[in-house]
Amino acid sequence: MPSIDFKLIKQDSGCSARLGSLTTPHGRIDTPIFMPVGTQATVKAMTPEELREVGSQIILGNTYHLYIRPGHELVRRMGGLHAFMHWDGPILTDSGGFQVFSLGEMRKIKEDGVTFQSHLDGSYHFISPEISIAIQEALGADIIMCFDECPPYPAEHDYLRRSMEMTTRWARRCKEAKKRDDQALFGIVQGGMDLELRRQSASELREIGFDGYALGGLSVGEEKERMYEVMEFAAPFLPDDQPRYVMGIGAPEDLIEGIYHGFDMFDCVMPTRNARNGMLFTSTSRINIKGAAYAEDSGPIDPECGCYVCRNYSRAYLRHLFRAGEILASRLNTYHNLYYYLSLMAQARVAIAEDRFPEFRREFYGKRNVA
């Protein structure tokens, strides 16, 4: 029996947007879906119960950070990530590849794997495709990712080609190393902004065969137009009957474009990180709650939002909390931002079901006065 079951329910007749259902050992996910990021076995400022309240169906854990602290073997002894963090829904763990990429000069990449220094204490560590899979199996997520190299932007064609080819070899090693039958393994399409390399990467990963496919290496400094071009180009080379995931993109317009081009799953720290910095998302814009304009504003963050925060707290109060350095500011801001993101996904699913996603997309941009 497969570890996950993806059913494509409907594709919008006016674009590539897809409505789907993804069943995992810890529950069913309606797609398209956004995954809040729980880097260190917690979505910052949120309890698992609150995550359910805002509409979370699946969350993401970070392999690199959990390996560094508290250690994957400790998590295994505590019953796996679900029991450890008191979350009974689906979990996806990334491979650690992006975090290793972000370490810059603190890491060295070779064919056998990556040697890197911990960002905590400078100690040296080594992760290979096999070790990444072993860590993720110990963590026990429903969906795990192949270890890949995330190339920088910009990068020369020869570097991108070598990186993509190594990512393919690593993907094959990940599949061979995987032992648990109750976890799905996704391959990661790389190739930078080079469309031909993206096509080659997708084709080679399909030949190996995975339970789902992701686009990596986006939102690393490229222009929005390039990001959207890669998504539009790559989607047709991925199987129709398996989930498609764009890793690490997170502005609301990025999610809308990802759905429009036929992707099902998304994640990013943007809603939670921005919340802690006082940046809040609304149906028409973003607002910086620190601004003096909100000092005596008795209105909610977003008059169109029905979340707990918008029903009960004013912009003036939220500004006060933030400027006073109160912990409650981060909690309420995060609650609202995640509610906004997950409500946007729910609205997108309804639009696809009603065969009107292009109209929904136009209305989304129209509210923002964005061409």
DSSP output for 70-136: T-HHHHHHTT-HHHHHT--S-EEE--SHHHHHHTGGGEEEETTEEEEE-TTT--EEEE-HHHHHHHH
Mean pLDDT of the chain: 96
pLDDT at 1: 61
pLDDT for 293 beyond 90? yes
Query: Distance (Å, rounded) from C-alpha 218 to C-alpha 227?
Result: 6
Q: Where do the domains of the chain lie? A: 5-269
Rg for the chain, CA atoms, rounded? 20
Residue-wise pLDDT tens digits, 3-30: 999 999 999 999 999 999 999 999 999 9
Which member of 12, 94, 194, 254 is catalytic? 94
Query: Distance (Å, rounded) from C-alpha 278 to C-alpha 275?
Result: 5
pLDDT for 101 beyond 80? no
**297 carries an active-site annotation:** no
How large is the average pLDDT for residues 246-251?
96
Dihedral angle sign, alpha carbons of residues 327, 141, 256, 190: positive
How large is the average pLDDT for residues 362-367?
96
Which CATH superfamily groups domain 5-269? Answer: Queuine tRNA-ribosyltransferase-like (3.20.20.105)
List CB contacts of 72: < 8 A, sequence separation 6 or more. Answer: 66, 134, 135, 138, 139
Which member of 194, 254, 267, 302 is catalytic? 267
**30 carries an active-site annotation:** no
- What is the value of pTM for the model shown? 0.97
Q: Which amino acid is at 157?
A: H
Q: Is residue 60 within 8 Å of 90, Cβ to Cβ? A: no
pLDDT for 278 beyond 90? yes
* Closest by CA position to 305, among listed 341, 353, 262: 341
How large is the average pLDDT for residues 312-323?
98
pLDDT at 371: 37
Query: Distance (Å, rounded) from C-alpha 115 to C-alpha 123?
Result: 10
244 has which bridge partners?
213
Residue-wise pLDDT tens digits, 168-180: 999 999 999 999 9
How large is the average pLDDT for residues 360-368?
95
pLDDT for 100 beyond 80? no
Residue-wise pLDDT tens digits, 206-242: 999 999 999 999 999 999 999 999 999 999 999 999 9
Residue-wise pLDDT tens digits, 144-172: 999 999 999 999 999 999 999 999 999 99
Q: Is residue 152 within 8 Å of 220, Cβ to Cβ? A: yes
pLDDT tier, 369 (very low <50, low <70, confident <90, very high otherwise): low
**Two tokens at 171?**
């993907």
Measure Cα distances from 205 to 23, 86, 238, 264 in Å: 22, 34, 9, 18
How large is the average pLDDT for residues 111-120?
92
Query: Distance (Å, rounded) from C-alpha 76 to C-alpha 83?
Result: 10
Percent of the chain with pLDDT over 70: 99
Query: Distance (Å, rounded) from C-alpha 300 to C-alpha 273?
Result: 20
